[in-house]
Amino acid sequence: MFSGLGRLVVRRPWWVIVTWIIAGTAVISLAPKLTSTSDEASFLPSRYESIKAMDLQEEQFPQQQNVGAIIVFQRADRARLTAADSADVRKVADRLARQKIPEVQDVSATPVAPNKQVQTAIVAMPKLNNPEDTAQQDAVQEIRDELPSALRGTDLTAGVTGSAAQALDERESADRAGVLVAVGTIVIIVVLLLVIFRSPIIALLPVVLIGLIAPLATGLIASANELFDMKTDSSIRELLTVVLFGVGTDYILFLLFRYREALRAGEDAKSGMVHAVERVGEAIASAAGAVIVAFAALALSTLGMLKSMGPALAIAVFVTLLAGLTLVPAVVSLLGTRVFWPSRSWRAEPSGTGFARFGALLARRPAVWALASAVFMGALTVGALGYRANFDLAGSSLPKSKESMVAQRDMERGFPAGTTDPSSVYLDATDGRPLDPAAVAAVRERLRAVDGVGSVDPATLSKDRRTAAYEVVLTDPPASDDALDTVRTGLRPAADEAAPAGTRALVGGTTAVYVDINKAVDRDYAVVFPVAALCIMIILGLLLRSLVAPWYLLLSVALGFGATLGATSLLFQQIGSQPGLMFMLPVIMYLFVVALGTDYNILMVSRLREEAREGREPRDAAGTAVRHSGPTIAAAGVILAGTFATLMLAGNATLSQMGFALSFGIVVAAFVMAMIFTPALTALIGHTAWWPGHGDRGRPPPRTPAPTAAPRSPTDPPAPRPQDPPGS
């Protein structure tokens, strides 16, 4: 099949290129804009309690004002606020309210903090229904621009925090991050390819080709989101950049290394490309299939964030696969050997390469290398036991110097940490009768007695007096572990116990959303991980015609995942003293490390099988496979790890954690799993690794008529076996 595809592409390269241009133009012109959101609540299904509370609030309290932003006032000398200072706060709030700033419903001063250190003004805004609407963020910017003149002549300073202010700061940070990630990715790819091939054409080839197909992939993802009503997480743009360029460059490298090997064997440019597609096409397709299946498994998630991220990345990899098997061979076949210009190193394989020496060492002592790599990954896996989840995507992704973060810390000097984002408790009559005032008061007293609750405002009743709403301020930051424990083990049980017969209690707010996300993620771990692993094993089994190899290949990937999570936990939680890792990082790590790590395992094990089919014994096949595939895997691993590492340039903890985890995981996958553990273990297991298909057995030669030449003497040298020539 791949041989036929290679011949078709090489014979009709211009037809292939024109087809891509037409398809890309059509998709880009017709596709909607790719939108994203960072609103965690929008990713939860309606069956969770926090979402039921949100729906009840919209139904029974539609007039309830939403706190879009909070202005935090304090004296410039950090002294206690005086009565005159409080009067100035009220004047500033009144002035801002009279400005009639779009999206600002009201600006009202609140009482000064009990310790007189700070005072706040609440900026009421309507509920945000469209995550792409930046009007409230623009309103915050207008307030920030107006504050200096409003504070002139007073002894006060002020900063703006709250959800709209954080969204504004996050947007500015994301714009910077997107540019840094894109530029960093391209620079790393170009520089590393120049070092590896010494050819500016090859260095620019992935950048140009993937840069052209990236808008096509983005358009297909946007169309799928609109068709299936999916929401995309705000980090998807940076992930798409590194996936398209990183994975796309990997597939181009797989093809170019095999193409160079064919040229060194004496084939001409066109037949060499056909040979390359034929030999490496199955490995690329299987590797991409494993990645696509792993990403698509996220569609089983209950979280909309992951449910949409998986198919989006799967679409990106599928487009990259198609380009790797059609567009790239078409362009390279037109360029011929000029693609390597000005380098001439493609003409002959260098002797005595490091990979040849390492392959020989591994072939002599496979047990030692298998044990050493397993111990290395196992030791790092122990660090995963200290993993803690962090659910504050907005706060943890912002630099501490941003105004919303500074103002939040200032506010905590005088108010409980939960003041920025109070929880909500609703007592709702299920029997259709008005609530008993005594019962409403009793519920408030019960909520106030919960450990971790700072204050509970008197209940607000709905118009029909069948629903009571309590605003609950926690003593801990809304996204902290302590706040989550307060809601999970204190507030929700207390509200349920206090609710009288004929009523129900619902706890909502951001902290409750985080609690429900935690529950959803635990469920997803139990479903998505096994499904993805099973699908990858099926792909490996079909590729290798073996029931044995898929098990230890997946074992190596599981060790790589554990080592990556352990190293990331140690670096960011123990050394970096961060409160935890992004809650969905293990899912993303699992899919990237498992899927992309399987890429390198597939490339190595395919070469192992190929060498075994040539008649080599298991240890010799392992050493030769490392010699041939080592340079490809090393180059691809370094480039892909480098592209993921660019996420650390974004300047926020969330993307830094993701960038380190994915780049470290790829390094482990390429240099420990695929280059050491897999070939060493395959050499130890021997022919049993290919049971029951015995894919390592060479195909019997075709039957031919009896030879007419004189029979060979026993002293004659053996006839050469047809095999691929050596090449890196």
- Across 141-150, 183-192, 326-335, least confident range: 183-192
Question: In this predicted structure, what is the pLDDT of residue 727?
Answer: 38
pLDDT of residue 587: 79
- CA 190 – CA 712 distance, rounded (Å): 54
**Cross-strand bridge partners of residue 157:** 74
pLDDT of the residue at 724: 41
Tokens representing 493 are: 């049980």
* Per-residue pLDDT at 712: 42
Tell me the three-class secondary structure of 371-430, residue by residue. HHHHHHHHHHHHHHHHCCEECCHHHHCCCCCCHHHHHHHHHCCCCCHHHHCCEEEEEEEC
Q: Are strands 453-456 and 467-474 parallel, antiparallel or unpaired?
A: antiparallel
Query: Model confidence at 698, in pLDDT bands (50, 70, 90)?
Result: low
| Alpha carbons 68 and 421: distance in angstroms, whole number | 10
Q: Which of 32-41, 204-213, 521-530, 642-651 has the lowest mean pLDDT?
A: 32-41
Query: pLDDT tens digit string along 311-365?
Result: 888 888 888 888 888 998 998 888 888 888 888 777 776 655 688 889 999 999 9
CB neighbours of 174 closer than 8 A, spacing ≥ 6?
234, 237
Helices then strands, counting H and E runs in the chain, come out as 24, 11
Q: Which range has the top average pLDDT, 171-180, 217-226, 718-727?
A: 217-226
Q: Residue 721: what pLDDT?
A: 41
How long is the chain?
A: 728
Alpha helices in 73-160 (DSSP H): 83-98, 135-151
Closest CA to 633 of 676, 592, 594: 676
Sort strands 389-390 and 581-582 into parallel, antiparallel or unpaired.
Answer: parallel
Which pLDDT value is given to residue 313? Answer: 82
291-303 tens-digit pLDDT:
888 888 888 887 7
Predicted confidence band of residue 713 (pLDDT cuts 50, 70, 90)? very low
pLDDT score of 122 more than 70: yes
User: Positive or negative, the Cα torsion across 514, 515, 516, 522?
Assistant: positive
Examine the pLDDT at 69 and tell me if it is beyond 50.
yes
Arithmetic mean of pLDDT over the chain = 82
d(CA 629, CA 624): 8
Three-state DSSP class for residue 191: helix
Most confident of 135-149, 180-194, 700-714: 135-149
Nearest Cα residue to 425 out of 368, 486, 341, 372: 486
**pLDDT value of residue 708:** 40
Token pair in block for residue 469: 């709403």
Model pLDDT, residue 300: 83
**Looking at residue 711, what is its pLDDT?**
42
Paired with 159 in beta bridges are 72
The 3-state secondary structure of 649-702 reads HHCCHHHHHHHHHHHHHHHHHHHHHHHHHHHHHHHHHHHHHHCECCCCCCCCCC
Question: What is the reported pLDDT for 408?
Answer: 85
Confidence of residue 176 (pLDDT cuts 50, 70, 90): low
CA distance 260 to 343: 12
Picking from 165, 58, 172, the residue whose alpha carbon sits closest to that of residue 121 is 165
**Cβ(269)–Cβ(671) under 8 Å?**
no
pLDDT of residue 470: 93
d(CA 250, CA 231): 29
User: What does pTM read for this prediction?
Assistant: 0.74
| Position 710 pLDDT exceeds 60 | no
Checking if the pLDDT of 720 tops 70, the result is: no
List the beta bridge partners of residue 125.
66
650 or 554, which is more confident: 554
**Pick from 407, 415, 355: which is nearest to 630 by CA?**
355
What is the per-residue pLDDT across 435-470, written as a single tens digit (0 to 9) for each?
A: 999 999 999 999 999 999 988 989 989 989 999 999
Predicted confidence at residue 650, as pLDDT, reads 64
Assign 724 to helix, strand or coil: coil
3-state percent breakdown (helix, strand, coil) of the chain, nearest 5:
65, 10, 25
pLDDT at 48 over 80: yes
pLDDT at position 699 is 53
Range with the largest mean pLDDT of 339-353, 484-498, 530-544 = 484-498
**What is the average pLDDT across 139-161?**
93
